[in-house]
Amino acid sequence: MLSLNPALQQKYATLQKVFHDLGSVVVAFSGGVDSTVVLKVAVDILGESAKAVIATSPTLPASELEDAYGLCESIGVPLQVVETDQSKIEAFVQNDATRCFHCKT
């Protein structure tokens, strides 16, 4: 088992309790480290009551989607895909300084 320092162990225990108390969760899964850890803990605590969802779009490389599928398979949870198209969002297309805000809304 992974050995965590006391501060991280407390955060881990808190995350486990939150998931336990919720009873079911949907994790917005990107395939990155953060969402992978969150999803793994959710599945460990909730089993089939933990779901993974990823948003695809023309800006998401196919290799990243393939990696996300692989990670979900290794964790033991199916990946649900929601198709989006940011090119239909005028603020996204403008690509100004607030572009990251528009991607996440």
The CATH code of the domain that includes 46 is 3.40.50.620
Contacts 24+ apart (CB under 8 A), 3-7: none
pLDDT at position 87 is: 78
In a domain, 44, yes or no: yes
Q: Is the model's pLDDT at 11 over the cut of 90? A: yes
Is 2 within the bounds of a domain? no
pLDDT at 51 over 80: yes
Higher-scoring residue by pLDDT: 35, 4: 35
- CB of 43 within 8 A of CB of 19? no
* 58 located within any domain: yes
Domain residues for the domain of 91 are 8-103
Q: What's the pLDDT at 89? A: 79
Name the domain count of the chain.
1
Other CB atoms within 10 A of residue 75 CB:
17
Task: Please state, as a whole number, how many other Cβ atoms lie within 10 Å of the Cβ of residue 57.
Answer: 14
Mean pLDDT, all residues of the chain: 91
| The model's pTM | 0.83
CA 40 to CA 43: how far, in whole Å?
5
- In a domain? residue 3: no
